[in-house]
Structure 1
Amino acid sequence: MSGHSKWATIKHKKGAADAKRGKVFTRLIKEITIAAKGGGGDPDGNPRLRTAILAAKAENMPADNIKRAIQRGTGELEGLSYDEITYEGYGPGGVAVIVDVLTDNKNRAVSEVRHAFSKNGGNLGAEGAVAWMFSKKGVISIEKDEASEDKLMEIVLESGAEDLNDEGDTWEILCDPKDFEAVVEALKAAKIPTQTAEVTKIASTYTKLEGSQANAMIRLLETIEDLDDTQNVYSNFDFDEASLS
């Protein structure tokens, strides 16, 4: 079965362009800062911080950047104070969308997110409107030429992962968030490089759109992704590429 919608693939392809603009580092620094603020600066006692540092290292973020982000979170260094907010809404065709933001200006954040929805055929919903459709999962993607299915299946079973999916050019491993670090470390020990590794939200069901609706949904997600305050975007959107006009 497929663990992710095709939008996940689009996001990962966009990642390289985002990195050139520094957006990936900015988002990771915000996440490290808020994680340290909420649970302290010691990653051994702060699972969210451990996961954020793991993601930062996967993007080759310098250790000094990670250290400063932690120190801003714990108050050792001065910096902006971020609020963590989640918005829920609907895109074209009733597709469910969740937007996580980290912002130093709540009014700006909600205004920009609402505008992104309304401009692209969607609308904001109430808290809890779509969250029930999603569950947190660790998701790890590996290029197929890096490992065979049999080898990965052995690692999946031994490290506590839940599923191994064939996603075309890549293998996708799904696991419970509490097992995420163990799976990543097992892959590292086996010298299998990961394409992406993150704790994200996976929809229980997907809404497939075609043609103009699918194009409008892609524009909505891209618009939200490009907002400065956006940290993560999740949706249950799926589509056939051949149907895009």
Structure 2
Amino acid sequence: MSGHSKWSTIKRKKGANDAARAKVFTKIGREIAVCVKDGGPDPAANAKLRDLIQKAKQNNVPNDNIERVIKKAAGDGEKNNYESVTYEGYGPNGIAVIVETLTDNRNRTAGDVRHYFDKFGGNMGQPGCVSFMFSQKGMIVIENDGLDEEKVMDDVMTAGADDFTFSEDAVEVVTDPASFSEVRDALEGMGYTFASAQVEQVPSTYTSIDDPDVRVKMNRLLEALEDNDDVQEVWHNWENPDEE
């Protein structure tokens, strides 16, 4: 997992203003609504919904909000039909970018995403142009508030994780996507709480940006994408963006 600190990204998002946090609530709510329509409103029978509820709680979405979205999606209250569309492209300096969206208007979303790439020195490519550089992995981040490394190692291996990184700030646990839920539940049962836990697109290699002006453009591209209501997740291979 060298090349990018997941913990630094989490700290940045935790410091987001109220408007940014409200947008996160809305995006997770949309994910939950689509998940309920696809797999039903019972988290015991819908593993993906169970994962999304945990994701919502990690992002401090109130329980009332979560329950309201589930009930609305299970009934007739949600009229919009969202579909999942993934876009790929290159940011400035050849940074690989994957943009996952939920949209009710493909033309609008594709136009917006293409505009952001063009505006900030990148270009949107064809499906598959960068995804081969990424692989899906379960990523669990535990804030280190005095944890014992040997105990963490024993617990993580017992839970069935593939690997972990221990630092003074956080423990980053890697799992196979298929066993992500089981590993997360096992660690939760051992008393751990998570700063973040989800299946992510993890790059195989990272690219750095030395030019300060290019770094500004890349940051603005990411900000524009993340601010778009249709964009759910943005994955990239920029090395240490929070430190540059």
Distance 2:130 2:205 in 1: 12
Distance 1:204 1:194 in 2: 24
Other-structure match for 1:65: 65
Deviates more, 1:142-151 or 1:24-33: 142-151
Note the C-alpha offset of 1:182. 2.4
Is 1:205 paired with 2:205? yes
Note the C-alpha offset of 1:15. 4.0
**Counterparts in 2 of 1:57-206, with a 5 A limit?**
57-167=57-167, 169-206=169-206
The alignment of Structure 1 onto Structure 2 pairs a total of residues equal to 242
Other-structure match for 1:44: 44
2:48 maps to a residue whose letter is R
Aligned partner of residue 208 in structure 2, secondary structure: strand
Checking the alignment, whether the CA contact within 8 Å between 2:136 and 2:201 is kept in structure 1 is: yes
Distance 1:12 1:36 in 2: 30
Note the C-alpha offset of 1:209. 1.8
Distance 2:240 2:96 in 1: 14
What's the TM-score once normalised by structure 2's chain length? 0.88
Note the C-alpha offset of 1:75. 4.2
Distance 1:7 1:172 in 2: 8
Change (3 A) 1:189 1:167: same
Q: For 1:99-144, what per-residue CA distance to the aligned partner results, in whole angstroms no more than 9, with x for missing partners?
A: 0111222222111111111111110000111111111111111222
Checking the alignment, whether the CA contact within 8 Å between 1:7 and 1:237 is kept in structure 2 is: no
Other-structure match for 1:5: 4
1:49 maps to a residue whose letter is L
Checking the alignment, whether the CA contact within 8 Å between 1:161 and 1:183 is kept in structure 2 is: yes
Note the C-alpha offset of 1:60. 3.5
Deviates more, 1:91-100 or 1:178-187: 178-187
Aligned partner of residue 217 in structure 1, secondary structure: helix
Other-structure match for 1:217: 218
Other-structure match for 2:16: 17
Distance 1:67 1:232 in 2: 23
Distance 2:17 2:104 in 1: 21
Structure 2: runs of 5+ lacking an equivalent:
none
Distance 1:74 1:236 in 2: 37
Aligned partner of residue 237 in structure 1, secondary structure: coil
Distance 2:134 2:227 in 1: 22
Change (3 A) 1:10 1:60: closer
1:125 maps to a residue whose letter is G
Is 1:237 paired with 2:241? no
Checking the alignment, whether the CA contact within 8 Å between 1:137 and 1:201 is kept in structure 2 is: yes
Note the C-alpha offset of 1:71. 3.5
Aligned partner of residue 52 in structure 2, secondary structure: helix
Deviates more, 1:143-152 or 1:120-129: 143-152
What's the TM-score once normalised by structure 1's chain length? 0.88
